[in-house]
Homo-oligomer: A and B are copies of this chain.
Amino acid sequence: MTRHHLISFQPSGKRVPTAGRETLLQLAHGAKLPIESVCGGQGTCGKCRILIPLAQGRLLPPTEKEISALGNLIEKGYRLACEMVPASDLTCTIPEASLVSGQVILTSSNCRPSRLKPDIMDFSLEIPPPTLSDPASDLSRLIRAFQKTYGRQVREIDTLAMREIASAVRSQKGRITAFLWKDRELIDVRAGNDEAVFGIAFDIGTTTVVAYLLDLRSGREVSVASAMNPQVPYGDNVISRITYCLEDEKGLEKLRSILLALMNQLIDRLCQKAGIKNSQVLEATVVGNTVMHHLFLGLDPRSIALAPYNPVVRSTGPVKARDLRLHISPSGYVVPLPVKAGFVGGDTIGVVIATNPHRKSAMTLAIDIGTNGEIVLGNRGRLLCCSTAAGPAFEGGHIKWGMRATKGAVEKVEIDPATLNVRIHTIGNRPPLGLCGTGTISVVAALIRARVITSHGSFNPAVSHPRLRPGDGGTEFVLAWAGETGTKNDLVITQQDVAELQLAKGAIRAGITILMKKMGIKKVHRVLLAGAFGTYVEVQDAWTIGLIPSDLCSQVESVGNAAGAGACLALLNRDKQAEAERMAEKMEYVELSVDPDFNELFIDGMLFDAPVPLDKS
Contact call B137/A314, Cβ cutoff below 8 A: yes
Other-chain residue from B132, B138, B323 in contact with A322 (beta carbon distance below 8 A): B323
How large, as a class, is the contact surface on chain A?
A: 35 or more
The smallest beta-carbon distance between A47 and chain B, in angstroms, is 32
Q: Is the CB of A131 within 8 A of B308?
A: yes
> Please, how many angstroms separate the alpha-carbon atoms of A313 and B169 in the complex?
12
Q: Which residues of chain B have C-beta atoms less than 8 A from A162's C-beta?
A: 297, 299, 312-313, 316
The answer, yes or no, to whether A165 is at the interface (CB within 8 Å) is yes
What 1/0 mask marks residues of chain A from 588 to 606 whose CB sits below 8 Å from any chain B CB?
A: 0101011000000000000
Known contacts being A139-B312, A156-B317, A317-B156, is A167 close to B300, with CB within 8 Å?
yes
Contact residues of A between 208 and 235, Cβ < 8 Å to B: none
Mark interface residues in A229-265 (1 if CB within 8 Å of B CB, else 0).
Answer: 0000000000000000000000000000000000000
Establish whether residues A159 and B322, one from each chain, have CB atoms under 8 Å apart when the complex forms: no
Q: Is A302 an interface residue (CB 8 A)?
A: yes
B132 contacts A307, C-beta separation under 8 Å = yes
The proximity string for A residues 123-144 relative to B, scoring 1 for CB distances below 8 Å and 0 otherwise, is 0000000111111111110000
Asked if B591 and A159 sit within 8 Å, CB to CB, the answer is no
CA distance A317 to B323 in the complex (A): 19
Chain B neighbourhood of A299, CB < 8 A: 162-163, 165-166
Is A517 located at the chain interface by the 8 A CB criterion?
A: no
Chain B residues within 8 Å of A34, by CB: none
Expressed in whole angstroms, the minimum distance between the Cβ of A259 and any Cβ of chain B is 15
Whether A300 contacts B166 by the Cβ 8 Å rule is yes
Contact with B along A562-596 (1 / 0, CB 8 A): 00000000000000000000000000010101100
Does A95 sit at the interface, judged by CB under 8 A?
no
Known contacts A166-B303, A314-B140, A323-B322; A309/B159 CB under 8 A: no
Establish whether residues A324 and B140, one from each chain, have CB atoms under 8 Å apart when the complex forms. Answer: no
**Residue from the list B132, B320, B589 in contact with A308, Cβ < 8 A:** B132
A431 interfacial by beta-carbon distance below 8 Å: no
Given the complex of chains A and B, what is the CA–CA distance between A309 and B310 in angstroms? 57
Question: Which single member of B130, B132, B133, B341 contacts A135 (CB below 8 Å)?
Answer: B341
Interface assignment of A342: CB less than 8 Å from any CB of chain B: yes
B312 touches A166 (CB 8 A): yes
Q: Is A427 an interface residue (CB 8 A)?
A: no
Please give the distance in Å from A86's CB to the nearest CB on chain B: 42
Q: Is A311 an interface residue (CB 8 A)?
A: yes
A614 contacts the other chain (CB 8 A)? no
Asked whether A160 is an interface residue with its Cβ less than 8 Å from the other chain, the reply is yes
- The listed residue (B134, B156, B300, B323) touching A160 by CB distance below 8 A is B323
Contact B314 A166 (CB under 8 A): no
> Which one, B138, B160, B316, contacts A303 given CB within 8 A?
B138
CB distance from A291 to the nearest CB of B (A): 13
Closest to A338 in B: B137
- With A132-B591, A132-B594, A302-B166 as known contacts, state yes or no: A310 contacts B159, CB within 8 Å: no
Q: A130 touching B313 by the CB < 8 A rule?
A: no
Does A59 have its Cβ within 8 Å of any Cβ on chain B? no
What are the residues of chain B within 8 A of A307 when measuring CB–CB?
132
Instruction: Say whether B135 contacts A324, CB under 8 Å.
Output: no
Most chain B beta-carbon contacts within 10 A, residue among A130, A160, A298, A593: A130
Q: A298–B137 Cα gap in the complex (Å)?
A: 15
- Indicate if the CB atoms of B133 and A594 lie closer than 8 Å: yes
**Any B CB within 8 A of the CB of A145:** no
Q: Could you tell me the distance in whole angstroms from the C-beta of A343 to the nearest C-beta in chain B?
A: 10
Distance of A349 Cα from B159 Cα, bound (Å): 21
Q: What residues of B have a CB within 8 angstroms of the CB of A317 in the complex?
A: 156
Q: Contact at A136–B312, with CB atoms within 8 Å? A: no
Interface flag for A516 (CB, 8 Å): no
Q: Are A320 and B135 in contact (CB under 8 A)?
A: no
Given the interface pairs A156-B317, A299-B163, the reply to whether A130 lies near B310 with Cβ below 8 Å is yes
Q: Across the interface, which residues of B come within 8 angstroms of A323, CB to CB?
A: 159-160, 322
Give A332-365 interface residues, CB cut-off 8 Å to B: 341-342
The interface of chain A, by Cβ under 8 A from chain B, is 130-140, 156-157, 159-160, 162-163, 165-167, 297-300, 302-303, 307-314, 316-317, 319-320, 322-324, 341-342, 589, 591, 593-594
A-B contact pairs, 10 of them (CB 8 A): A133-B594, A138-B303, A138-B310, A140-B314, A157-B316, A159-B319, A159-B323, A162-B313, A163-B298, A322-B323
Given A133-B591, A160-B323, 12 additional A-B pairs, CB 8 A: A131-B308, A133-B594, A135-B310, A138-B313, A140-B314, A157-B316, A159-B319, A163-B298, A163-B300, A166-B303, A166-B312, A167-B300
The list of the 4 closest CB pairs from A to B, nearest first, reads A166-B300, A135-B308, A135-B310, A130-B310
